[in-house]
Chain A
Amino acid sequence: MNIFVIMKRTFDTEEKIVIENGKISEEGVEFIINPYDEYAIEEAIQLRDDHGGEVTVVSIGSEEVEKELRTALAMGADKAVLINNEELEDSDQYTTTALLAAYFGDKEYDIILGGNVSNDNSTGQIGPRLAEKIGIPYVTTITKLDIDGSTATIERDVEGDVEIVEAQLPLLVTAQQGLNEPRYPSLPGIMKAKKKPLEEIDYDELDVEDDEIEAKTETIERYLPPKKEAGKVLDGEVDDQVQELVKLLRQEAKVI
């Protein structure tokens, strides 16, 4: 099977956000593989182990993404590809999709996996946009995946309910939490990863015109939410506290 994973490098979930000159500051920030993409990588590795074939992890970004790509290789992926977009001024989900579609243009793939959302911009657009662009079906927020021949049987999370979906390969799926338990890279895995192929492609080497990658959206402003003041911790006997709380919620906060 030709298995591909699209991956994004994101801030660690424990990071605080600092805005400098209208941009999100990356200074001193710890980066990770987007947590949802980790599920996609793990699933891809398991698929390869069950069905044979090869796992290629593809990411877009600066040279620094090499670190996360090496981590994916250390987990067990076979190849990594970095589409370098450092020279690209303006980029949004339309741009990213166009670059990925151009990359996949001459590739053969049975399945493409990704996270259902990234923990930074959280648009969840790339999976469905890409599938539509390259003309294959997609299933989002999956929690279980079985492949038999060219048929995939999938469980997907729909706001707490489970949908059982059947689809034919080639297919794109996006991972939801609960799909699997991503492995930690082992020491031998880390050693092996150093020798695995990591191809770097400059975005303008891809077969795509400038106007096809021009962002459709524009960010006007970024800001932090107003800091919340610590509230009222109630005192007295538990019974009194509970009565007081109910009264406050009804009369002061007026939410019940």
Chain B
Amino acid sequence: MAKKVLVIAESRESELRNVSFEAIAAGKEIAAGGEVIAAIAGENVSALTDALVHYGADRVIKAENEKLSTYTSDGYGQVFLQIINSIKPDAILLPHTSMGKDIAPKLASKLDAGLISDATAIELDGEDIVFTRPIYSGKAFEKKKVKAGVTIATIRPNNISALEKDESRSGEVFSEDVEIKDLRTIVKEVVRKSTSGVDLSEAKVIIAGGRGVKSEDGFEPLQELADVLGAAVGASRGACDADYCDYSLQIGQTGKVVTPDLYIACGISGAIQHLAGMSNSKVIVAINKDPEANIFNVADYGIVGDLFEVVPLLTQEFKKVLQTN
């Protein structure tokens, strides 16, 4: 049976995040011919609505208000609840990002609904929407469904393919009037710390460093390689514990779980807790001095060698071949 699906889209620095389009694709599958409605909130989001249609939304609801300039659970919660109550969807999808992780449980609690977090795949089994999600940081997986009532799920970036952009698609854009009141948390300031614009959870390519980088400066050659490939830089727990980098870069069972197309592990031994966070990456490259390092057991390609020699050479080689294209 056709279903009505609400997709809550997300923008970052005035651009839609790709996971919004991935969630629309997931919504299309669940809708099974029904309607997919995308909702976007912010101070000024009018420029973003067309893209949501081009990527598959049948209709877009935008909510604009100066109090929505930065995300707060109270502000965005009021907006999305108002939209949910007016369109009464069968399913609600959100990105499994900082925003989605923060707001989805609030909405689910308010709606007395089941929530499936961090879905990496979706299939339909008759009337049931079955989600696949990693547990124990990817050491195992489970398939889950919501038993009754509205189904809410958050979608992990980089796992469900977005639809092809089709600029000939058209869809109506509605404006939701919202009055934002009683904000109990106030964002005073946002300090941008991410070194490059590429976010770890959404990055297609990740260059990660372990204890082998030896110091904070040791991350420099990794950053140079990342810049050439448009990649994000990550780290193992060892590197974070040794203070070579910020904890926000940590990948592993404590830290972030990532699934990029390409993961290049530099000077990382491959402790179980790190592997949990990255072993579901599509292609893994290991660069390590120790040929016995555990990381080689999960790597597709390995180079036994000193990362300070190999990484700069790799940067040069990529520069060369990417320029000639």
Residue numbers of A with Cβ under 8 A of B are 11, 13-17, 19, 24, 35-36, 92-94, 97, 119-133, 137-141, 143, 153, 157-168, 176-178, 215-225, 228, 230-234, 238-239, 241-243, 245-246, 248-250, 253, 255-256
Complex Cα spacing A123 to B142, Å: 13
- From B1-9, B36-44, B159-167, B280-288, give the one contacting chain A: B280-288
Contacts of A16 in B (CB 8 A): 139, 272
Pair B108/A168 contact, Cβ less than 8 Å: no
Cα of A128 to Cα of B108 in the assembled complex, Å:
10
Q: Specify which of A97, A248, A255 lies most central, judged by the most chain B CB atoms within 10 Å of its CB.
A: A255
B1 shortest CB reach to chain A, Å: 20
Chain A residues with Cβ below 8 Å from B201 are: 159
From A164, A177, A222, A246, contact of B188 by CB (8 A): A164
Q: Which residues of A contact B317 (CB under 8 A)?
A: 242-243, 246
Are A232 and B199 in contact, with the CB atoms below 8 A?
no
**In the complex, A17 Cα to B142 Cα: how many Å?**
13
Residue B191 contacts which of A131, A153, A159, A164 (CB distance < 8 angstroms)? A164
Residue from the list B97, B110, B272, B282 in contact with A14, Cβ < 8 A: B272
Residues of chain A contacted by B240 (CB below 8 angstroms): 177
Q: List 18 A-B contacts (CB under 8 A).
A: A14-B273, A16-B139, A126-B105, A128-B109, A129-B105, A159-B200, A164-B191, A178-B248, A217-B115, A219-B143, A220-B145, A223-B140, A224-B139, A232-B300, A234-B303, A256-B205, A256-B229, A256-B318
The number of residues on chain B lying at the interface, defined by a beta carbon within 8 Å of a beta carbon of chain A, is 96
In the complex, chain A residues whose CB is within 8 Å of the CB of B192: 161
Q: Is B127 an interface residue (CB 8 A)?
A: no
Contact B185 A139 (CB under 8 A): yes
Taking CB atoms and an 8 Å cut-off, the chain B residues in 90-132 that contact chain A are 97-98, 101-106, 108-110, 112-118, 130
B33 within 8 A of A: no
The answer on a CB contact under 8 Å between A11 and B97 is no
Instruction: Establish whether residues A128 and B106, one from each chain, have CB atoms under 8 Å apart when the complex forms.
Output: yes
Known contacts: A13-B272, A222-B135. The answer to whether A230 contacts B140 by CB under 8 A is: no
Contact A242 B302 (CB under 8 A): no
Rounded to whole angstroms, the CA-CA distance of A43 and B194 in the bound complex is 26
From A128, A158, A223, A238, B141 is in contact (CB under 8 Å) with A223
Measured CA separation A92–B109 after assembly (Å)? 12
Q: Which of A132, A133, A242, A246 has the most CB of B within 10 A?
A: A242
- Take A17-B139, A216-B146, A217-B144 as given contacts and tell me if A159 and B194 are in contact as well, using a CB distance cutoff of 8 Å: yes
Contact count A vs B, C-beta below 8 Å: 262
Q: How far is it, in angstroms, between the C-alpha of A131 and the C-alpha of B247 when the chains are bound? A: 26
A36 to chain B, nearest CB (A): 7
Task: Verify if B304 is at the interface (C-beta below 8 Å from A).
Answer: yes
Binds A, one of B57-65, B173-181, B306-314: B306-314
Give me the interface of B with A, judged by CB distance under 8 Å.
Answer: 70, 73-74, 97-98, 101-106, 108-110, 112-118, 130, 134-149, 184-194, 199-201, 205, 229, 240, 246-250, 252-255, 257, 261-262, 271-273, 276, 279-280, 282-285, 291, 296-305, 309-310, 313-314, 317-318, 321-322
Q: Which residues of A contact B298 (CB under 8 A)?
A: 228, 230
On whether the beta carbons of B302 and A234 are closer than 8 Å, the reply is yes
Q: Shortest CB–CB separation between residue B202 and chain A, in angstroms?
A: 9
In the bound assembly, the distance between CA atoms of A127 and B116 in angstroms comes to 15
Residues of B within 8 A of A248 (CB): 301
Partner of B147, one of A162, A177, A218: A218
Q: How far is the CB of B86 from chain A (nearest CB, A)?
A: 20
Residue in A closest to B77 when the chains form the complex, CB atoms: A132
CA distance A137 to B201 in the complex (A): 26
- Residue ID in chain A nearest B299 by CB atoms: A231
What would 12 more interface pairs be, CB under 8 Å, given A24-B140, A125-B108, A233-B291? A125-B117, A128-B73, A158-B190, A159-B248, A160-B194, A160-B200, A160-B246, A163-B189, A165-B185, A216-B148, A220-B143, A241-B305
Asked if B114 and A217 make an inter-chain contact with CB atoms under 8 angstroms apart, the answer reads yes
Interfacial chain A residues near B105, Cβ < 8 Å: 93, 123-129, 132
